[in-house]
């Protein structure tokens, strides 16, 4: 699954549940200490990325339970209207990705496919509704985490090889 904080709530979407691939969207209200169901995402998938930007939840990539069924899908959820809209597909279909909001963009980094990991870092610009290519990861990997502090995007851990692999790699992308 993927999660993102938006307007004092935590949005959790996708993943794998007891019935297989999930598309459910759950929202945890931190002030009320309770969960609620929202409109499910249009696409069932796991190993996806999510981030909040401009009052909306952005969800991209992922796969359908296998490396050979990676997705390039972008979907955007508006909590004010409880609706999803499709966005333009990512240039590179992949699962096992990390997502973050960085410099006004929804950034998706890394991933895996049969036989290889991805170094691609692509960013969706909601103003132009276009995907941009950012500098690639120096170390291609999947299953990594993304976090932002100040003007630095940290890309942490992840496996250098498809399947179960791990690393202690930490790389950064800075905005000047």
Residue 76 CA to residue 35 CA, distance in Å, equals 20
Mean pLDDT of all residues belonging to the chain: 96
Residue 46: is its pLDDT beyond 80?
A: yes
pTM listed for this prediction = 0.96
Candidates 3.30.300.30, 3.40.640.10, 2.120.10.80, 3.40.50.10480; CATH matching 2-141: 2.120.10.80
In order of 28, 36, 137, the CA distances from 32 in angstroms are 9, 11, 40
Q: What is the pLDDT of residues 93-105, one digit of tens each?
A: 999 999 999 999 9
Distance between CA atoms of 33 and 138, rounded to whole angstroms? Answer: 41
Using only C-alpha atoms, what is the Rg of the chain?
15
pLDDT value at 145 more than 80: yes
DSSP 8-state secondary structure symbol assigned to residue 106: E
pLDDT single digits (tens) 48-99: 999 999 999 999 999 998 889 999 999 999 999 999 999 999 999 999 999 9
Show the tokens assigned to 136.
């690639």
Say what the pLDDT of residue 17 is: 86
pLDDT above 90: residue 119: yes
Where does the pLDDT of residue 143 fall: very low under 50, low under 70, confident under 90, or very high at 90 and above?
A: very high
pLDDT the model gives residue 19 = 87
What does the pLDDT average to over 31-53? Answer: 98
pLDDT band at 45 (very low <50, low <70, confident <90, very high): very high
Which of the four pLDDT bands, split at 50, 70 and 90, describes residue 176? low
């Amino acid at each position: 699954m993927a999660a993102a904080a938006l307007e004092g709530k935590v949005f959790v979407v996708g993943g794998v549940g007891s019935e297989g691939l999930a598309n459910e969207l759950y929202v945890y209200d931190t002030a009320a200490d309770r969960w609620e169901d929202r409109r499910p995402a249009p696409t069932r998938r796991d190993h996806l990325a999510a981030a909040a930007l401009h009052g909306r939840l952005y969800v991209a990539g992922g796969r359908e339970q296998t490396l050979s069924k990676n997705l390039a899908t972008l979907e955007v959820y508006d909590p004010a209207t409880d609706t999803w809209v499709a966005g333009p597909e990512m240039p590179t279909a992949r699962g096992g990705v990390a997502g973050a909001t960085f410099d006004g963009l929804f950034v998706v980094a890394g991933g895996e496919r049969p036989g290889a990991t991805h170094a691609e870092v692509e960013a969706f610009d909601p103003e132009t509704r276009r995907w941009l290519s950012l500098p690639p990861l120096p170390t291609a990997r999947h299953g990594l985490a993304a976090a932002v502090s100040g003007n630095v995007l940290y890309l942490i851990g992840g496996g250098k090889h498809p399947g179960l692999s791990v690393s202690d790699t930490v790389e950064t992308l800075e905005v000047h």
